[in-house]
Amino acid sequence: MNAFDSALSIAPRHGSRSSSARLFDPVTFRGMTARNRIMMSAMCQYSAIDGMADDWHHVHYTSRAVGGAGLISFEMTAVDPLGRITPGCLGLWRDDQAAALAPIVADIRRHGAKAGLQLGHAGRKGEHFEQGLVAPSAIRFHDDWPVPHELSTAEATDLVLRYGEAAARADAAGFDYVEIHAAHGYLINQFLSPLSNRRTDRYGLDRRLFLMEVLEAVRGAWPAEKPIFIKLSVVERDEGGATVADVVDLARAVAPSVDLCIASSGAMTPTRGIRIDSFPGYQVPFAEALKREAGVAVAAVGMLDHPLLAEEVVKNGRADVVAVGREFLRDPYWPLHAARVLGIETEWPRQYKKAKDDWRYFP
């Protein structure tokens, strides 16, 4: 039975009401309880000015809270000016950037969701070439990219401190959780991978060290009752890159500091010429591997747009949380619609209730 057939097997009959849809069960990490297990994945908006959030971010993120998401992850937010992917990326290297985020976070929480900030650094994968690129080793991302500056040991250690400082600002802005971006070929992933880290100092002799120091810095600046999440590429899809077994072992190593692992894959190198067979639920086995073999709580990603499939993943214990990305760009109210499909009675905003009862989704 494939994933979608399995999803159909648990679907409520038309018109019925289910009291057992796990997707809408609350989930707790440390002192934070989210109202359901639906996470909006971090997705770059490329709309910031000098790293500052504006009205676009306020409307974009708050509307997903109105739409019923349990967990809302803000886009990758750079801990350093050189860490932006583009000039339009959010930043958190200054206090005024945190101040601009605070009212957005307050409104998200007012509408019942938990707000999280993804902290990251693009490293050699940045596209803002004018400001220069940095990386663990002087190896370009692609032939079209410039050769990055190889970070000195002192410069790498200084970037670790930037993560801790950004976490403190995220706390000041009121965020409920932080998410460390250690996937998709960005800076932390570059330190982890043998494809991009050829160093001979301590950050090369132990390729995990940069990440472990980042986690220590963030945990030291982040309240003990608030959770830390991490996004991992569970397989790099490149010859000589990290395997599932490598990342399962990494997940075990970070487990004492991390409350949820978001299991993705790939993007260490450009996908040109690499055939990825993508289909609904295609990355769920990566989450299952981390959950089963490393014993960590996991979020599954990857085309989990249909409510029946999202429910199947959680109900069958394949993941603890379902992270939905592009479907949230298409439909800010996806959780409300998913509840209807699953036969779950959920609260709609008072202003929208007149449209609730005669509405159909996924006919």
pLDDT tens, 39-82? 999 999 999 999 999 999 999 999 999 999 999 999 999 999 99
Predicted local distance difference test score (pLDDT) of residue 237 = 74
Of the candidates 98, 209, 107, 192, the residue with the CA atom closest to the CA atom of residue 153 = 209
- Token pair 């330190």 is found at 191
Higher pLDDT, 22 or 269: 22
At 69, list the tokens: 């998401």
Query: Across residues 197-217, what is the average pLDDT?
Result: 98
Model confidence pLDDT, tens digit, residues 125-144 = 999 888 899 999 999 998 88
45's CB contacts (< 8 A; 6+ apart) are: 56, 57, 60, 75, 88, 90
Any residues with CB less than 8 A from the CB of 276 and at least 6 apart, and which? 237, 266
What pLDDT, on the 0 to 100 scale, is given for residue 298? 98
User: According to the model, what pLDDT value does residue 275 have?
Assistant: 61
Domains of the chain by residue range: 3-11+23-347
Residue 173, Cβ neighbours under 10 Å: how many? 23
Evaluate if residue 15 carries a pLDDT over 70: no
Q: Is the pLDDT of residue 16 over 60?
A: no
Residue 239 has pLDDT above 90, yes or no: no
pLDDT confidence of residue 362: 53
Q: At 363, is the pLDDT very low, low, confident or very high (cuts 50, 70, 90)?
A: very low
Q: What is the pLDDT of residue 269?
A: 75
Q: Reply yes or no on domain 3-11+23-347 having CATH 3.40.50.300.
A: no
pLDDT attached to residue 13: 40
- Burial class of 39 by CB neighbour count within 10 A (0 to 12, 13 to 18, 19+): buried
257: pLDDT strictly greater than 60: yes
Residues 92/59, Cβ–Cβ less than 8 Å: no
360 has pLDDT over 80 = no
Residue 208 contacts by C-beta under 8 Å, 6 or more apart in sequence? 191, 192, 250, 253
Give the mean model confidence (pLDDT) for residues 18-44: 92
Higher pLDDT, 275 or 120: 120
Confidence of residue 9 (pLDDT cuts 50, 70, 90): very low
Q: Please check whether residue 359 is in contact with residue 36, taking contact to mean a CB–CB distance below 8 angstroms.
A: no
pLDDT given for residue 355 in this prediction:
85
Average pLDDT of the chain is 91
Span 195-223, average pLDDT: 98
pLDDT band at 10 (very low <50, low <70, confident <90, very high): very low
- For the question of whether the overall pTM of this predicted structure is more than 0.85, the answer is yes
Separation of alpha carbons 304 and 45, rounded Å: 21
pLDDT number for residue 50: 97
pLDDT at 125: 94
